[in-house]
Structure 1
């Protein structure tokens, strides 16, 4: 596995923790965080935990959360949030494409607004697959490629120019659902929606939230996917 390295983005970390994060909470992101983590059990890994905003939403059925966050300022805030969590949370340095865990360690892996900013989402999903136990769940809540051609063109423009520089490496137009399927997961639940609800559409407005499963044996067919789509 690649050796873990710290990712320093101090300006973005301050902005996200003190401006963007609270703005998302005011817009109602907590409801989506709660949906993402509902009914989880056992050993859970959260990749790209940021400042720990999810920790308060883990249900008591979770035995333990291992959380990795490579940005030092965000990781320090996540450690503080872990102390207030109702379930045991261990926060450590770590990169999505080189996780410091053995194969088949976790019952669930969580990506929450993180796959947009990892340098190599394919490698990150491959690592998530590796550390999941067969039959384990991938929970994901991410902003993704837009549904309309016009907005996809806008996403390509901003992703090739200022957006990643201003937003900590974030890319607005990644086809994360397709990436999850290519990594070998079977998507079993998928909700597509716009968040937050704004009068003027934004490049990062299209989101997906759902569950995928690591198959128990090679050759297992994909379970039926329950899909919702909301404008």
Structure 2
């Protein structure tokens, strides 16, 4: 049920901030993220649809799943001008639509920080991907600096409540690999999404499911 994922105040703030985040560099991050997407795609946590303009012609269809009503409405509007067919639907990462092996590519973009369980979400993504299917990921992650990582641990309980469930201290690449994916490309870098916000660790890359 998506009723557990409604946070209209945060969603409205996110929609405003995401425009500036793209201007500060996330637009190019999204372009790199989706350059290798192909076939039938499922995008998990599509937000307000900022990824949609970047899908290449090799993509035949995008099924965009978003639990928050406010963001889903914005994504639905954005889908109308997307360069590939995009359908937006209600849903969440731990109960994805479709049978096993239904998609060629899965996309997660600044969403695995906020899912209740990375393990369950990644298991669902692996389920709906074809064998050898591609996972495109772009996430902010736990700092490699031990002192900064401890600070992230300390602020997570408060930050999670204030920022739509976001956990700044998750080691997402390790979670991806533990879920049965093999990273074929992974770039780690620091990025400040907003003015006066410290640069935090991010990862951007691609992985393949190893299921038979």
Specify if TM > 0.5: yes
Rounded to whole Å, the distance in 2 between the matches of 1:101 and 1:8 is 23
CA RMSD of aligned residues (A): 1.6
Rounded to whole Å, the distance in 1 between the matches of 2:107 and 2:195 is 30
Rounded to whole Å, the distance in 2 between the matches of 1:199 and 1:86 is 31
Q: Which of the residues 183, 202, 210 maps onto 1:207?
A: 202
CA separation of 1:194/1:131 partners in 2, compared to 1, >3 Å: closer, same or farther? Answer: same
Q: Which of the residues 30, 37, 41 maps onto 1:40?
A: 37
Q: Which runs of 5+ in 2 are unaligned?
A: none
Give TM-score, length-normalised by structure 2: 0.95
- Number of positions where the alignment pairs a residue of Structure 1 with one of Structure 2: 211
Rounded to whole Å, the distance in 2 between the matches of 1:181 and 1:65 is 24
Rounded to whole Å, the distance in 1 between the matches of 2:179 and 2:39 is 23
Rounded to whole Å, the distance in 1 between the matches of 2:47 and 2:15 is 8
Q: Of Structure 1 and Structure 2, which has the larger fraction of its residues in helix?
A: 2
Rounded to whole Å, the distance in 1 between the matches of 2:101 and 2:195 is 44
Displacement after TM superposition at 1:214 (Å): 0.9
Q: Which of the residues 155, 178, 187 maps onto 1:158?
A: 155
CA separation of 1:199/1:69 partners in 2, compared to 1, >3 Å: closer, same or farther? Answer: closer
Q: Tell me, what secondary structure is at the counterpart of 2:12?
A: helix
Q: Please give the residue correspondences for 1:8-27 in structure 2 after superposition, counting only pairs within 5 Å.
A: 8-18=6-16, 20-27=17-24
Rounded to whole Å, the distance in 2 between the matches of 1:215 and 1:155 is 32
Give TM-score, length-normalised by structure 1: 0.88
Once superposed, which parts of structure 1, at least 4 consecutive aligned residues long, lie more than 4 Å away?
197-201
After superposition, the C-alpha distances for 1:150-201 in whole angstroms (9 at most, x for unaligned) are 11011001102x2112211101010101100110111111100001289977
Rounded to whole Å, the distance in 1 between the matches of 2:196 and 2:52 is 31
Q: Which residue of 2 aligns with 1:228?
A: none
Larger radius of gyration: 1
